[in-house]
């Protein structure tokens, strides 16, 4: 696809269900005020778990977005995804009808899918036998169902798919949606990520892999990206959704434009199941290729929403990769990890972080990295500690890296 054939792609709507707010406005206010969404797990009795903390969504009522019968037939991850998608469609004032339905698609990624219903049905199977398992188990469990149900609820009949690339899934979904519009295969896409993996088995598995923080006595300080006392990530849940539109289509209907997405790249480390490749070469290539794709020089970038997981391996590796891509400008660009407030939403993280990056551009304000009290000497960039910053944000980068060696970078810019 040559540059002459590429369509410009703009962002016209956002939706967010997060541990610090259940609307985009609440989420953004939480970010810029450094609100902490992490606490003791209430979803289940975690007293026997080595990790007993998470970033849970609070006061979420799916019936605000669907009737009781529909909600009952959805796993929580799909409830989050459909609800955030409906917010985003409403925010964009995008009317989907017989005239445009085939030109509106859905791409919503999830790293884990419906693990809650799988765990529940395993208990039913063991205690009551196979004949008592729910006929809705499979359609509630499979990871593509948030995308499928979003189409059912909105009427979008265009391209529809689900990225399942662990913690890169939400960003992959946004990037793939961007490519679809760029290539002229749809006029608008509902895209992002969702996750609801705060379950007994899921938490036990991540804890056994020694990926999680065990700071159970101090949950609000457990997620501390780039801090030398970090000990692992804190699981979060929720969904972040963008409405992407082909520029001319957005202008034709008088849509409000938050910003533009101009670059996307994905690479693989081909190194290890869970650990990043030493030196961050996969992340380096992803960021470099995304900037090249968008025709952006490193010096143009104002802000990087880092993957910033608060794990011993990720934070210095990502820092090294940023330095390799940006050179001396790495010390001039603002870098922050919003996971310090929300926890790590796994496949949903790229979605809510794309929303955060979009709103940083729209509001010229950079969210902080909270809990950065004892900086790691290996992590010596400007991580916007503790307090948000008023600063013009013309171009921003959002990073997502997932188990399996998946690396994704997205480039956003102000719309002119």
In the set 153, 223, 307, 406, the catalytic residue is 307
Q: Hey, what are 206's tokens?
A: 């991540």
Q: Hey, what are 409's tokens?
A: 């970078």
Contacts of 32 (CB under 8 A, 6+ apart): 365, 367, 368, 388
Residue 118 and residue 364: Cα distance in Å, rounded? 43
In the set 51, 162, 344, 379, the catalytic residue is 344
344: annotated active-site residue: yes
167: annotated active-site residue: yes
412: alpha, beta or left, given left = phi > 0 and alpha = psi -120 to 50? beta
Q: How far is CA 241 from CA 149, 321, 410, in A?
A: 14, 27, 14
Whether 401 and 168 have beta carbons less than 8 Å apart is answered as: yes
**Crossing angle of the two packed helices 169-182 and 349-363, in degrees rounded to 10:** 60
Residue 129 and residue 135: Cα distance in Å, rounded? 14
In the set 51, 153, 162, 167, the catalytic residue is 167
Q: SS3 helix, strand, coil % of the chain, rounded to 5? A: 40, 20, 40
307: annotated active-site residue: yes
CA angle 202, 204, 209 (to 5 degrees): 100
Partners of 259 in the beta sheet? Answer: 11
Q: How do strand 9-17 and strand 259-268 relate by DSSP bridges?
A: antiparallel
Write out the DSSP string of 6-65: PPPEEEEEEEEEBTTBSSHHHHHHHHHTT----EE--SS--TTSS--EEB---S--GGGT
Write out the DSSP string of 377-390: TT--SB--BSS-EE
Residue 26 and residue 166: Cα distance in Å, rounded? 26
> Which residues form the catalytic set?
167, 307, 344
């Amino acid at each position: 696809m040559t540059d002459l054939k590429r369509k410009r792609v703009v962002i016209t709507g956002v939706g967010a269900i997060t541990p610090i707010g259940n609307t985009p406005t609440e989420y953004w206010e939480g970010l810029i005020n450094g609100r902490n969404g992490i606490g003791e797990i209430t979803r289940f009795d975690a007293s026997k778990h080595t990790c007993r903390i998470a970033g849970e969504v609070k006061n979420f009522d799916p019936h605000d977005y669907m009737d009781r019968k529909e909600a009952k037939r959805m796993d929580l991850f799909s409830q989050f995804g459909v609800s955030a998608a409906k917010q985003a469609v409403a925010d964009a004032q995008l009317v989907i009808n017989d005239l445009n339905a085939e030109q509106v698609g859905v791409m919503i990624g999830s790293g884990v899918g419906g693990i809650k219903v799988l765990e529940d049905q395993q208990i039913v199977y063991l205690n009551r036998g196979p004949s008592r398992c729910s006929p809705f188990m499979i359609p509630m469990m499979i990871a593509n169902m948030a995308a499928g149900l979003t189409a059912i609820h909105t009427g979008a009949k265009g391209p529809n798919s689900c990225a399942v690339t662990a913690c890169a899934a939400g960003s992959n979904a946004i990037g793939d949606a961007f490519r679809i519009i760029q290539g002229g295969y749809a006029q608008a896409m509902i895209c992002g990520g969702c996750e609801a993996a705060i379950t007994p088995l899921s938490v036990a598995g991540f804890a056994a892999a020694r990926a999680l923080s065990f700071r159970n006595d101090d949950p609000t300080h457990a997620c501390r990206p780039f801090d030398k006392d970090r000990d692992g990530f804190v699981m979060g849940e929720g969904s972040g959704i963008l409405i992407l539109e082909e520029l001319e289509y957005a202008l034709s209907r008088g849509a409000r434009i938050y910003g533009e997405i101009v670059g996307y790249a994905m690479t693989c480390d081909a190194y290890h199941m869970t650990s990043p490749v030493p030196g961050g070469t996969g992340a380096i290539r992803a960021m470099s290729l995304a900037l090249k794709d968008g025709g952006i020089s490193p010096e143009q970038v104002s802000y990087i929403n880092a993957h910033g997981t608060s794990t011993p391996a990720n934070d210095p590796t990502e820092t090294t990769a940023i330095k390799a891509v940006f050179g001396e400008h790495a010390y001039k660009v603002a870098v922050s990890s919003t996971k310090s407030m929300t926890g790590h939403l796994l496949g949903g993280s790229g979605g809510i972080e794309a929303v955060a990056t979009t709103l940083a551009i729209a509001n010229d304000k950079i969210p902080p990295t909270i809990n950065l009290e004892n900086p790691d000497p290996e992590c010596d960039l400007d991580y916007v500690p503790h307090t948000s910053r008023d600063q013009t944000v013309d171009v921003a980068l959002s990073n997502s890296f997932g188990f399996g060696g998946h690396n994704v970078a997205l480039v956003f810019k102000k719309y002119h």
